[in-house]
Amino acid sequence: MEHNKKQHQLLSRIATNDGHGENSPYFDGWKAYDSDPYHPTNNPNGVIQMGLAENQLSFDLIQEWVVKNPTASICTAEGVSDFKDIAIFQDYHGLPKFRQAVARFMEKVRGDKVSFDPDRIVMSGGATGAQETLAFCLADPGEAFLVPTPYYPAFDRDLRWRTGVQLLPIVCESSNDFKLTREAMETAYDKAQESNIRVKGLLLNNPSNPLGTVMDRETLQEAANFITEKNIHLVCDEIYAATVFSQPGFISIAEIVQENPLKINPELVHIVYSLSKDLGFPGFRVGILYSYNDSVVNCARKMSSFGLVSTQTQQLIASMLSDEIFVEKFIAESSERLSKRYNYFTRGLSQVGIGSLNSNAGLYFWMDLRRLLKEQTTDGEMELWRVIINEVKLNVSPGSSFHCSEPGWFRVCFANMDDETVRVALRRIRNFVLQDKSAAKKQCRRRSKLEISLSFRRRDDIIMGNVMSPHSPMSSPLVQ
Ligand SMILES: Cc1ncc(COP(=O)(O)O)c(C=O)c1O
């Protein structure tokens, strides 16, 4: 202990602080999965990972393309002649064909309604790296960005940890489907001013993680008006742009900028993108920072030396994304498959009375378990979450880890598993809810007959015991 303390004194504040957020419940759920991962035959009672926003539904299309295009890789007989040129290339501007292909892809994903200049495309190690780079470019330690809640938990790591920048919540509520309002933005801004914190920007994530919703034109316009009036930056994380699977369609902040060249100062607007979600390549670490501000582009490009995309990956992506027929087919097919998954899961849950926020994008949905909470507090939410992890054996993420202002919401990821695993997951959660209902009913009957007065403590024992376990003999398969 003493030894640890001394070691800590020898290290930097960043090395010894908790800013990474690794200890939050969001990551705890991943640990629970890691120590007991579900496998259909080797570990059928293990934890199913539903806390990972990965898009694995269309990998067959990618594989098919890779097989048909051997010259795209420098590690094939057909592509090896490029090996030397690619291996020695180290310009932090990136391969011109990569920047062109990415800019074109970003346009396509936005329905060809906007244009992107390849010279403004800056590479980064995923959107993670792009967010941090922007925070370094736009704010000094102690200054702040406003972020609507609930928001992606790792923004705390990405924007704050190493930069010393703060994130201040804009509280959004379920009463209007967590929509961002002018009033909420003003309240958060005023609060920062009262605390003498300088606000440097507004950080939006559209489509939203964790809500799975897209922002409408009026909201985007209002956000643009807000940042213009306050003369602060607008960072828009559009990493889920191509995951929209039904109406209303996605509207990029680029559209709002292009439509209102006189009203909005484009130099205040910056877009974060990546191929981690839309193509499902988080392992490739292809992050993009797109800014309308020349100074930001210049500075970010220099900073990109710390997180370049490897040239080998640039080469492959350039070829793949230049194949417009493939790209169109992929985007259409991927959103169709996401839609099917979403409908299968959310309809299966609504049949047993579990609602979720109406959404049409992302790789997850926002499940409403408020009525299952024993008390409407964060503690109540965490208690239910522990039952879901330990008894139901599903790693879903509690709303509190997304800074949600209301307890009882959980993010459920649905695109990182195969059809069979989805069926098992749905069955588990339906059984859990039905048994909770029947336990509650039985308890009610007993109460009314005044046979026993069951204390809450005792009720907990029943619910926490085998009755709720997905593996108990009472669990019957409800969904085939
Ligand atoms: C909203 C949002 N931004 C950024 C990221 C990080 O993405 P990347 O893998 O490109 O770093 C994620 C990943 O979950 C995300 O959901």
Residue 470 has pLDDT above 50, yes or no: no
Nearest to 128 by CA among 154, 147, 102, 149: 154
Stretch 410-427: mean pLDDT: 96
What average pLDDT score do residues 63-72 get?
Answer: 96
At 445, the pLDDT band (50, 70, 90 cuts) reads: low
Q: What distance in Å separates the CA atoms of residue 153 and residue 156, rounded to the nearest whole number?
A: 6
Cα dihedral angle (272, 278, 281, 282), rounded to 10 degrees? 50
Compute, in angstroms, the gap from residue 273 CA to the centroid of ligand 1. 9
Buried b (16+ CB within 10 A) or exposed e, 257-284: beeeeeebbeebbbbbbbbbbbbbbbeb
Among 128, 158, 363, 401, residue to substitute to test ligand 1 (most atoms within 8 Å of Cβ): 128
Rounded CA gap, 79 and 361, in Å? Answer: 37
Report how far residue 89's alpha carbon sits from residue 364's, in angstroms, rounded to the nearest whole number: 38
The greatest distance separating any two alpha carbons of the chain, rounded to the nearest whole angstrom, comes to 84
Q: Give the span between the Cα atoms of 160 and 144, in whole angstroms.
A: 9
Mean pLDDT for all residues in the chain: 89
How does pLDDT run across 86-102, given as a tens digit for each residue? 988 888 899 999 999 99
Alpha carbon separation from 255 to 1, 86, 245, 265, 308 (Å, rounded): 56, 35, 20, 13, 28
Starting from the edge strand earliest in sequence, which strands make up the sheet with 409-413, in order? 355-356, 364-368, 409-413, 397-398
Report, as residue numbers or ranges, the catalytic residues: 152, 237, 239, 277
Protein residue closest via CA to atom 13 of ligand 1: 53
For residue 66, how many other CB atoms are within 10 A of its CB? 15
Cα(433) to ligand 1 centroid in Å equals 31
What residue ranges do the domains of the chain occupy?
2-54+363-468, 60-327
- Atom from ligand 1 closest to the CA of residue 282: 9
pLDDT at 459: 35
Question: Distance (Å, rounded) from C-alpha 29 to C-alpha 41?
Answer: 22
Region 390-405: mean pLDDT is 95
What share of the chain in percent tops pLDDT 90?
81
Nearest CA to ligand 1 atom 16: 209
Task: Tell how far the Cα of 81 is from the centroid of ligand 1, in angstroms.
Answer: 34
What number does the ligand 1 atom closest to the CA of 129 have? 11
- State the closest ligand 1 atom to the C-alpha of 208, by its place in the atom list counted from 1: 1
Helices 456-464 and 419-449, axial angle in degrees (round to 10) = 150
Q: Is there a contact between 17 and 157 (Cβ–Cβ < 8 Å)?
A: no
End-to-end Cα distance, the chain? 53
pLDDT for 435 equals 81
Stretch 429-435: mean pLDDT: 89
Name the CATH architecture for the domain at 60-327.
Answer: 3-Layer(aba) Sandwich (3.40)
User: How far is Cα 170 from Cα 184, in angstroms, rounded to an integer?
Assistant: 6
Nearest protein Cα to ligand 1, atom 14: 53
Neighbours of 195 (CB within 10 A): 10
Residue 451 Cα distances to 438, 440, 454, 458, angstroms? 18, 15, 9, 14
The pLDDT tens digits of the residues spanning 183-241 come to 999 999 999 999 999 999 999 999 999 999 999 999 999 999 999 999 999 999 999 99
The correct answer on CATH 3.60.15.10 for the domain covering 2-54+363-468 is no
- Per-residue pLDDT, 439: 66
206-105-236 Cα angle (round to 5): 25
- How far, in Å, is the centroid of ligand 1 from the Cα of 154? 8
How far apart are the CA of 128 and the centre of ligand 1, in A?
A: 6
Mean pLDDT (whole number) for 65-78? 95
What is the Å distance from ligand 1's center to 286 Cα?
A: 11
In the three-class reduction of DSSP (H, G, I as helix; E, B as strand; rest coil), residue 466 is classed as helix
Q: Which of 159, 211, 238, 276 to mutate to test the pocket of ligand 1 (most atoms within 8 A of CB)?
A: 276
pLDDT digits (tens, 9 = 90+) for 121-156: 999 999 999 999 999 999 999 999 999 999 999 999
pLDDT for res 456: 39
Quick check: 468 and 392 in contact, CB under 8 A?
yes
Pocket (CB within 6 angstroms of ligand 1): 53, 126-128, 152, 205, 209, 237, 239, 274, 276, 282, 287
pLDDT bucket at 261, cuts 50 / 70 / 90? confident
The pLDDT of residue 458 is: 35
Spatial separation of the C-alpha atoms in residues 349 and 186, rounded to whole Å: 37
Quote the pLDDT of residue 19: 82
Give the 3-state secondary structure of residue 397: strand
Res 28 pLDDT > 90: no
Q: Which of 277, 281, 413 best tests ligand 1's pocket when mutated (most atoms within 8 Å of CB)?
A: 277
Residues of 340-359 as b/e, b for ≥16 C-beta within 10 angstroms?
A: ebbebbbebbeebebebbeb
What is the Å distance from ligand 1's center to 206 Cα?
12
Strand, helix or coil for residue 329: helix
Residue 460 above 60 pLDDT?
Answer: no
**Ligand 1 atom nearest residue 151's Cα:** 1
